[in-house]
């Protein structure tokens, strides 16, 4: 058994077989005590270490650093743990091998002498676990970054082919109605209509996938502002009226409502998905959108007379990709609409409840806390202006198009030319310089928001407006419209933001409406 001169009064049998190797050094760093565990950890016989300098247990490459640590400890001796804070702390075995060490130090005085007790533990296993956790965290961080990049890329690049197809489809529809194709126009028109339906379906699917991933990844933060609910509902009525009319359904919608302090985009997504679902699963009767106010909340209700949902399925309807058996009806969508509703409501602090009776319809309730209300607005919502774009040939003029994707640019130029516009296009900012230097009254700029360079489409527009000293009208297109709107935190006058793939009628309507702003400005 090892000895320790004047420390022999310590009950050595409690120290000898400690799970940690225990050594005691004096003020000259000479080892005065070593327990039995030292043998298994360091490979030394405890008695062989007595009187030797502590550096025998320190790897040579760390001895200078070890001296600095000892000096620092001497200036402020106190109980402390070293291995937890020194990532590269290692100890040396008798055979010269090394191991990562965790060391606890405890200074004490015995008689007239000062000593330091050190409890030493092999940290190899713990270090391996720690390294594995760090690696797992780094991998998770990389995966999150990769997911973010995927969402950003998908938002822009995956929409580009859809944009091209949509514009070519619209161009073909124009050609199909020409006199020279009058004989085949009906057949071509039917095929193109089917193609348009497929494009719309693919667009909805892509948008839903991106929306749910963006929300669940935490990439969406509500941007609160005042929203006139009556006007929002009026816009939704106009959006869904053609779909209701095509199915022979009555679409009833409230035209009054309070002003809310909320995120317009997220609230719109909630209602769009609820109304869209109601129309999809209703074959006859009515879809109605109403509201009522009680002491605690404003509730928006969407009710239909459709096929309904069995009671045992209601608990799962907000799950991603889940679809209720539609009782012989074709499957519609992929089951993401209500998952988006769930996530958007969570972000806004709203609650959503759905009740249903099979064969008699479904009732959805969006409960909005009363503190969200800014004021009660009882006047009917104003009718949204009908786009003047459908006015006819006299509304046509010049369009200045900036688009860095060759296929999208060519398809857009072809479509707008067939619509009667004189189109001047550019693929790069350098090409756009001369084009934009000669902006004329009546011109409308159409540009992608995400350009290939350091400038965005909005940056370009602001430069043009500064040169012209007037609000040149513009349409900004983006495959990630929600993110763009959150980056642009203020209203831009005489500017329309449209999502890719753009609806061609909406694009023409926006251009024609914006052209009128020149007349009001002059």
Rounded CA-CA distance 253/237 in Å is: 6
Instruction: With CA atoms as reference, report the closest residue to 59 among 101, 31, 6, 21.
Output: 101
Structure tokens of 16?
Answer: 């000898």
- Please give the domain boundaries of the chain with CATH numbers for all domains: 5-122 (3.30.450.20), 221-375 (3.30.565.10), 389-521 (3.40.50.2300)
Instruction: With CA atoms as reference, report the closest residue to 332 among 271, 279, 287, 285.
Output: 279
Return all residues near 185 (Cβ < 8 A) that are at least 6 apart: 176, 177, 178
Mean pLDDT taken over the chain? 78
Q: What is the DSSP letter of 360?
A: T
Would you state the pLDDT for residue 159?
Answer: 67
Instruction: With CA atoms as reference, report the closest residue to 492 among 459, 453, 519.
Output: 459
Rounded CA-CA distance 463/314 in Å is: 53
Would you state the pLDDT for residue 132?
Answer: 85
Rounded CA-CA distance 291/252 in Å is: 12
Rounded CA-CA distance 372/95 in Å is: 73
Instruction: With CA atoms as reference, report the closest residue to 333 among 289, 285, 279.
Output: 279
Q: What Å distances lie between residue 205 and 58, 201, 252, CA to CA?
A: 63, 6, 27
User: pTM for the whole thing?
Assistant: 0.48
Structure tokens of 201?
Answer: 């379906």
- Cα–Cα–Cα angle for 235, 238, 240, nearest 5°? 110
Q: What Å distances lie between residue 12 and 25, 34, 38, 116, CA to CA?
A: 16, 10, 14, 16
Rounded CA-CA distance 517/510 in Å is: 11
Rounded CA-CA distance 400/457 in Å is: 12
**How remote is the C-alpha of 455 from its chain's centroid?**
22
Strand partners for 80: 105
Rounded CA-CA distance 191/180 in Å is: 18
Below-50 pLDDT ranges, the chain: 1-4, 9, 83-86, 180, 183, 330-331, 334, 377-395, 520, 522
**How remote is the C-alpha of 166 from its chain's centroid?**
26
Check if the beta carbon of residue 263 is closer than 8 Å to that of residue 228.
no
Report the relative pairing of strands 90-92 and 286-293 from DSSP bridges. Answer: unpaired
Q: What is the DSSP letter of 157?
A: T
Give the number of other Cβ atoms within 10 Å of residue 304's Cβ: 25
Rounded CA-CA distance 57/93 in Å is: 7
Check if the beta carbon of residue 3 is closer than 8 Å to that of residue 34.
no
Would you state the pLDDT for residue 6?
Answer: 52
Structure tokens of 372?
Answer: 């969200």
Residue 438, helix vs strand vs coil: coil
Instruction: With CA atoms as reference, report the closest residue to 472 among 490, 486, 460, 487.
Output: 460
Check if the beta carbon of residue 251 is closer than 8 Å to that of residue 244.
yes
Rounded CA-CA distance 224/264 in Å is: 8
Instruction: Return the sign of the alpha-carbon dihedral for residues 479, 482, 484, 490.
Output: positive
First to last CA, the chain: 104
The enclosing H or E element of 416 equals helix 406-418
Check if the beta carbon of residue 481 is closer than 8 Å to that of residue 448.
no
Structure tokens of 57?
Answer: 């247990």
Would you state the pLDDT for residue 395?
Answer: 46
Helices (H) and strands (E) in the chain, counts: 15, 19
Q: Where are the alpha helices (DSSP H) in 61-158?
A: 63-75, 124-156
Check if the beta carbon of residue 122 is closer than 8 Å to that of residue 41.
yes
Structure tokens of 257?
Answer: 């409502």
């Amino acid at each position: 058994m090892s000895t320790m001169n004047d420390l022999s009064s310590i009950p050595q049998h409690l120290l000898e077989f400690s799970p940690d190797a225990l050594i005691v050094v004096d003020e000259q760093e000479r080892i005065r005590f070593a327990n039995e565990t030292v043998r298994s950890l360091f490979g030394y016989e405890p008695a062989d270490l007595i009187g030797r300098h502590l550096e025998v247990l320190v790897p040579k490459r760390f001895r200078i650093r070890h001296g600095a640590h000892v000096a620092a400890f001497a200036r402020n001796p106190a109980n402390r743990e070293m291995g937890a804070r020194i990532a590269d702390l290692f100890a040396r075995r008798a055979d010269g091998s090394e191991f990562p060490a965790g060391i606890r130090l405890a200074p004490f005085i015995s008689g007239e002498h000062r000593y330091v007790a050190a409890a030493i533990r092999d940290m190899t296993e713990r270090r391996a676990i720690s390294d594995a956790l760090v690696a797992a965290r780094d991998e998770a961080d990389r995966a999150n970054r990769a997911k973010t990049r995927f969402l950003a890329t998908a938002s822009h690049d995956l929409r580009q082919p859809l944009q091209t197809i949509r514009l070519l489809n619209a161009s073909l529809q124009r050609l199909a109605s020409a006199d020279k194709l009058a004989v085949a126009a009906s057949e071509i028109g039917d095929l193109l209509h089917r193609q348009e339906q497929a494009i719309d379906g693919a667009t909805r699917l892509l948008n839903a996938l991106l929306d749910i991933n963006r929300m669940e990844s935490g990439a969406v933060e509500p941007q609160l502002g005042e929203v006139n609910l009556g006007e929002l509902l009026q816009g939704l009525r106009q959006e869904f009226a053609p779909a209701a009319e095509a199915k022979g359904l009555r679409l009833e919608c409230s035209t009054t409502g309070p002003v809310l302090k909320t995120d317009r985009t997220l609230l719109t997504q909630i209602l769009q998905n609820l109304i869209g679902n109601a129309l999809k699963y209703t074959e006859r009767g009515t879809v109605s959108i109403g509201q009522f106010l009680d002491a605690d909340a404003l509730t928006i209700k969407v009710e239909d007379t459709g096929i309904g949902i069995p009671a045992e399925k209601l608990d799962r309807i907000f799950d991603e990709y889940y679809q209720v058996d539609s009782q012989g009806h074709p499957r519609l969508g992929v089951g993401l609409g209500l998952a988006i509703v769930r996530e958007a409501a969570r972000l806004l602090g709203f609650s959503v409840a759905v009740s249903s009776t099979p064969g008699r319809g479904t009732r959805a309730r969006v409960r909005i806390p009363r503190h969200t209300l800014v004021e009660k607005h009882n006047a009917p919502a104003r009718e949204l202006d009908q786009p003047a774009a459908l006015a006819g040939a006299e509304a046509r003029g010049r369009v200045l198009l900036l688009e860095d994707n060759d296929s999208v640019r060519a398809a857009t130029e072809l479509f707008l030319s067939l619509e009667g516009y004189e189109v001047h296009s550019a693929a790069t900012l350098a090409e756009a310089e001369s084009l934009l230097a000669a902006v004329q009254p009546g011109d409308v700029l159409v540009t992608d928001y995400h350009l290939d360079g350091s400038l965005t489409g909005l940056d370009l527009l602001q430069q043009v407006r500064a040169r012209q000293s007037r609000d040149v009208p513009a349409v900004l297109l983006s495959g990630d419209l929600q993110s763009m709107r959150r980056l642009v935190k203020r209203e831009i006058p005489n500017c329309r933001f449209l999502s890719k793939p753009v609806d061609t009628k909406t694009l023409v309507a926006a251009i024609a409406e914006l052209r009128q702003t020149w007349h009001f400005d002059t």
